[in-house]
Amino acid sequence: MTTTETQLEARRSGAWASGLAIAIGRFVLIGAITFLGLLAVTFFIGRVIPIDPALAIVGDRAPAHVVERVREEYGLNLPLYEQFFIYVKGALQGNFGNSVLTSNPVMTDIRRVFPATMELATFGTLIGTLFGVPLGVLAAVKRGSLIDQIVRLIGLIGYSMPIFWLGLLALLVFYAKLGWTSGPGRIDVIYEYTFTPITGFYLLDAVLQGNWDAFWNIFSFIILPASLLGYFSLAYISRMTRSFMLNELEQEYIVAARAKGLSETRIIWAHALRNAAVPLVTVIALSYANLLEGSVLTETVFSWPGLGLYITNSLQNADMNAVLGGTIIIGAVFIAINLLSDLLYQALDPRTRAR
């Protein structure tokens, strides 16, 4: 390598680094503004709905003076903007208040429920990607064939079937009838005494503790809801892969590659898919982010103690601190995943790097 080439390389990577820094800076700024907006909207919606928050805290049977005292303790008698100010001040210091329902600080709760959702979502997205991408590619390559029809049918079913019903059906077949998997829940009650969660990602925890019995037990629980979520993301991912691939296969460089005499396998998997992968990353990331919000229905059917269930339950009980905390976490996840997919974009597409 000559000196000029090295310099050029260095300059280019320097430009890339500063580009990255700007990108991150921009994201932080946008993130902060989005956050504040999110906070404000959620906070004020929570306060204008016709529910007395004090009632949510002490219940219907509390005597009048207890209700009054709680109103004072929680600052509910202050003007709205003042309440909001106090809330934001606390939130900036990492204090999101206590959940009425669980008696714990909201962040403690979220640290407990979020890993459950994340474990499920990660597993589900993994399944969706591992199966969805190849299926989509196959469908595109064999456009119009039986395989294509089948893949599209699978996608259509995944799109239109209510997850609630499909979840119950899956339980009925794989758990109740065939006995291949465990039922609703995260781990068998007999492990209540031998297995202690550390990170909250049970599969990981079991590995860390070398508790293989527990690992397989957890696996037998997670596989069914994860497959279900995986199926839904597969439906989406395979459809998108198919259409991206169809687009790529029509490009001139494919014709050129064929003319060059490359094998069809190489053309499809090394060239076309490589290019289709760029927009696909966004698709997968978005579908992952969607699952991370917590799939309320799946979590209900499978008694999965995750974020979706937590927020829904809090919402129904007007537990506003928990709702706000949960919303912020979801917002953070969305922003983080967007950033991540943008970075992946840059890694996958050289043109975005050069710029």
Partner 1 sequence: MLINQLNAKFRLLVGSAALSALVISGVPAWAATPADTLVEAFAIDDVITLDPGEAFELTMGEINGNTYDKLVRLDINDPSKIIPDVAESWTVSDDGLTYTFKLKPGLKFASGNPLTAEDVAYSFERAIKIDKSPAFILTQFGLKPDNVTEKAKATDPSTFVFTVDQPYAPSFVLNCLTSTVASVVDKKLVSQHVVDNDYGNAWMKTNYAGSGPMKIRDWRANEILVLERNDNYHGTKAPLNRVIYRHVKESATQRLLLEKGDIDVARNLEPNDLEQVVKNSDIKTTSAAKGTIYYFSLNQKNANLAKPEVREALKYLVDYDAIGEKLIKGIGEIHQTFLPKGILGELDEKPYSLNVAKAKELLAKAGLKDGFSVTMDVRNGQPVTGIAESVQQTFAQGGVKLEIIPGDGKQTLTKYRARTHDIYIGQWGVDYWDPNSNAETFTSNPDNADTGTNKTLAWRNAWDVPDLTKETKSALLERDTAKRAKTYEDLQKKVLATSPFVLLFQQTEVAGIRSNLKGFKLGPSFDTNYVFTVSK
Please, what is the minimum distance in Å from the beta carbon of residue 68 to partner 1? 9
Among 109, 119, 205, 248, binds partner 1 (CB under 8 A): 109
Does residue 162 touch partner 1 according to CB under 8 A? no
- According to the 3-state scheme, what is the secondary structure of 226-261? HHHHHHHHHHHHHHHHHHHHHHHHCCHHHHHHHHHC
Under a CB-based contact definition with an 8 Å cutoff, are residues 344 and 123 in contact? no
Cα(20)–Cα(29) distance, integer angstroms: 14
Q: Which is nearer to partner 1, 288 or 310 (CB)?
A: 310
Does residue 185 touch partner 1 according to CB under 8 A? yes
Among 188, 207, 247, 286, binds partner 1 (CB under 8 A): 188
Q: How many helices (H) and strands (E) does the chain have?
A: 16, 0
Calculated CA dihedral for residues 58, 63, 66, 68, nearest 10 degrees: 100
Name which of 252, 251, 266, 174 is nearest 220 in CA terms.
174
Please, what is the minimum distance in Å from the beta carbon of residue 126 to partner 1? 10
Place of tokens 């994201």: 27
Does residue 181 touch partner 1 according to CB under 8 A? yes
Q: Mind giving me the DSSP string for 140-156? A: HHTTTSHHHHHHHHHHH
Q: At 71, which helix (H) or strand (E)? A: helix 64-73
DSSP conformation class of 197? -
Among 43, 87, 114, 175, binds partner 1 (CB under 8 A): 175
Contacts of residues 4-10 at CB distance under 8 Å and 24 or more positions apart, as own/partner, are none
Cα(135)–Cα(303) distance, integer angstroms: 31
Among 19, 183, 200, 331, binds partner 1 (CB under 8 A): 183
Please, what is the minimum distance in Å from the beta carbon of residue 267 to partner 1? 11
Name which of 334, 353, 354 is nearest 344 in CA terms.
353
SS3 state of residue 105: strand
Binding mask 62-91 for partner 1 (x = CB under 8 A): xxxxx--x----------------------
Please, what is the minimum distance in Å from the beta carbon of residue 98 to partner 1? 9
Does residue 160 touch partner 1 according to CB under 8 A? no
Q: Which is nearer to partner 1, 215 or 334 (CB)?
A: 215
Does residue 130 touch partner 1 according to CB under 8 A? yes
Based on the number of CB atoms within 10 Å of its own CB, is 194 exposed (0-12), middle (13-18) or buried (19 or more)? exposed
Among 223, 262, 332, 343, binds partner 1 (CB under 8 A): 223
Site residues for partner 1, window 256-315 (CB under 8 A)? 264-266, 269, 300-303, 305, 309-310, 313
> Which range touches partner 1 (CB under 8 A), out of 81-89, 217-225, 229-237, 341-349?
217-225
Does residue 122 touch partner 1 according to CB under 8 A? no
Please, what is the minimum distance in Å from the beta carbon of residue 91 to partner 1? 21
> Which range touches partner 1 (CB under 8 A), out of 4-12, 126-134, 202-210, 277-285?
126-134
Name which of 40, 204, 200 is nearest 107 in CA terms.
200
Q: Which is nearer to partner 1, 291 or 322 (CB)?
A: 322
Site residues for partner 1, window 224-263 (CB under 8 A)? none
Name which of 135, 114, 300, 126 is nearest 230 in CA terms.
126
Question: Which residues contact partner 1 (rule: CB under 8 A)?
Answer: 49-52, 55-56, 58-66, 69, 99-104, 109, 112, 130-131, 134, 138, 168, 171-172, 175-176, 179-185, 188-190, 192, 216-217, 219-220, 223, 264-266, 269, 300-303, 305, 309-310, 313, 316-318
